[in-house]
Amino acid sequence: MMEVYLDNSATTKITDNVKDKVIKALYEDFGNPSSLHRYGIKAEQYIKDATEIIAKAMKVEPKEIVFTSGGTEANNLALIGTAMANRRRGNHIITTGIEHPSVHEPLNYLKENGFEISYIPVDESGKIVKEELYQAIKENTLMVSIMYINNEIGAMQDISQIGEELKKRKKDIIFHVDAVQAFGKVHIYPKREGIDLLTISGHKIHGPKGSGALFIREGIKISPVVFGGGHQRGLRSGTENVPAIAGLGQAVADIYTDFTTKINKMYELKQLFLREVAKLDGVRINGIPKECTTDFEMDCLRKTAPHIMSVSFEGVRSEVFLHALEDRGVYVSSGSACSAHHPQPSVTLIAIQLPKNLMDSTLRFSMSDMTTKEEILYTLEQIKEILPVLRRYTRK
């Protein structure tokens, strides 16, 4: 039986290059990067190398990169740190209804501490209603936070266009972008796109779990949320996790090598998958603009994430379908991995106004550059075999 891992939006398998880099930093060059002796200097070099790799990938300065334990911490630092440091400038923050919990929860904390939070709606494909965003800007608006790619349905926002327009409307507005699902899938250049704060995570791009980074544009005032020895210019105290940082740097170097080839391959597999799934009865494809759903033309698909496919199967509970596919060696998700242990209606599916009968019938299939055509064909074969059986069982 073939095994097919299609839950890459939850986490990815590390590459051999990353594994080797992590082991070397963990086992051989194990010094504390704050130490002044040879072992400390070696450890510090890993951090410098990773910083330069990430900065080069985004065409920013190394001093604008701060390492964190992952996307969640980076989002907390970006939102809470910036809000608290700039409170006198304004206490109004704008976001959307489809953000990750690591954005929603810090914003809830800020709301409890006197900040005003506005939520902008999205259309049925998950695209933000831009005019409502621009109209929501007020004199006391401090920050806007919008995810680049939605982790559940793969909707991709027009970040460059939004960033440019935000700066036109209010020059000093701070634009935060959660790019956890976009980094490594899109070329992202924060300074060209009007982005002031950008979050990335290692384990979404074949790097180690517990690794992440925040781009902070020079000049942005931000307060730390972790206090201690003043590491990383006082923005994130604590001895740096050198193996994780080294692995993150290697993952970034790897993911942007032959980048166009990798992304084109994923879009081709996505097109193949969606065209075949759409032929089945009682199926709805989520996160795709209406004009794309007739034949899933490539130009249209490229307005969405290359790696995420969200499909609702009428009449079948997602958890049942998930485990039936697992029995055939296909591993998928029924939504965000971060909410799997706290089951509740998906805020994203609610925001796109998915019919109630499909809320608990939605699966997420997410690829990486390691995914093959054979794996996609095998998955389609299993879906076609299992779906009618489960529907017959449900009706009984």
Ordered per-residue pLDDT tens for the chain, 396 residues: 899 999 999 999 999 999 999 999 999 988 888 788 988 889 999 999 999 999 999 999 999 999 999 999 999 999 999 999 999 999 999 999 999 999 999 999 999 999 999 999 999 999 999 999 999 999 999 999 999 999 999 999 999 999 999 999 999 999 999 999 999 999 999 999 999 999 999 999 999 999 999 999 999 999 998 888 878 886 887 888 999 999 999 999 999 999 999 999 999 999 999 999 999 999 999 999 988 878 899 999 999 999 999 999 999 999 999 999 999 999 999 865 555 554 577 899 999 999 999 999 999 999 999 999 999 999 999 999 999 999 987 654
Q: Which residue in the list 137, 338, 359, 390 is annotated as catalytic?
A: 338
Tokens of 380: 């389609």
- Contact present, 330 and 279 (Cβ < 8 Å): no
Specify the CATH class of 16-255 in words. alpha beta
User: b/e for 54-76, b at 16 or more Cβ within 10 A?
Assistant: bbebbebeeebbbbbbbbbbbbb
User: Kind and range of the H or E element at 133?
Assistant: helix 130-135
Q: Which residue in the block uniquely carries the two structure tokens 């049925």?
A: 124
Tokens of 90: 């304004």
- Contact present, 40 and 58 (Cβ < 8 Å): no
Q: How far apart are CA 197 and CA 83, in angstroms?
A: 12
- Amino acid, single-letter form, for residue 131: E
Among the listed residues 76, 34, 74, 82, the one whose alpha carbon sits nearest the alpha carbon of residue 248 = 74
φ, ψ at 200 (rounded to 5°)? -130, 160
Among the listed residues 27, 368, 3, 375, the one whose alpha carbon sits nearest the alpha carbon of residue 206 = 368
Q: How far apart are CA 5 and CA 381, in angstroms?
A: 15
| Residue 183 three-state SS | strand
- Amino acid, single-letter form, for residue 230: G
| Residue 306 three-state SS | coil
Query: 300 an active-site residue?
Result: no
pLDDT of residue 343: 58
From the CA atom positions of the chain, what is the Rg in Å?
A: 21
pLDDT of residue 396: 46
Tokens of 355: 């019919």
User: b/e for 317-331, b at 16 or more Cβ within 10 A?
Assistant: ebebbbebbeebebb
Q: Write the DSSP symbol of residue 213.
A: E
pLDDT of residue 254: 97
The fold for domain 4-12+258-395 equals Aspartate Aminotransferase, domain 1 (3.90.1150)
pLDDT of residue 235: 83
Sign of the CA dihedral with 232 first, then 235, 238, and 241 last: negative
pLDDT of residue 291: 84
- Domain spans in the chain, listed from the N-terminal domain onward: 4-12+258-395, 16-255
Q: How far apart are CA 328 and CA 342, in angstroms?
A: 26
- Contact present, 16 and 391 (Cβ < 8 Å): no
pLDDT of residue 167: 95
| Residue 288 three-state SS | coil
Q: What Å distances lie between residue 210 and 73, 165, 207, CA to CA?
A: 10, 34, 9
- Contact present, 177 and 80 (Cβ < 8 Å): no
The pTM assigned to this predicted structure is 0.94
φ, ψ at 309 (rounded to 5°)? -130, 120
Q: What Å distances lie between residue 137 and 90, 105, 131, CA to CA?
A: 11, 22, 10
Q: How far apart are CA 199 and CA 393, in angstroms?
A: 44
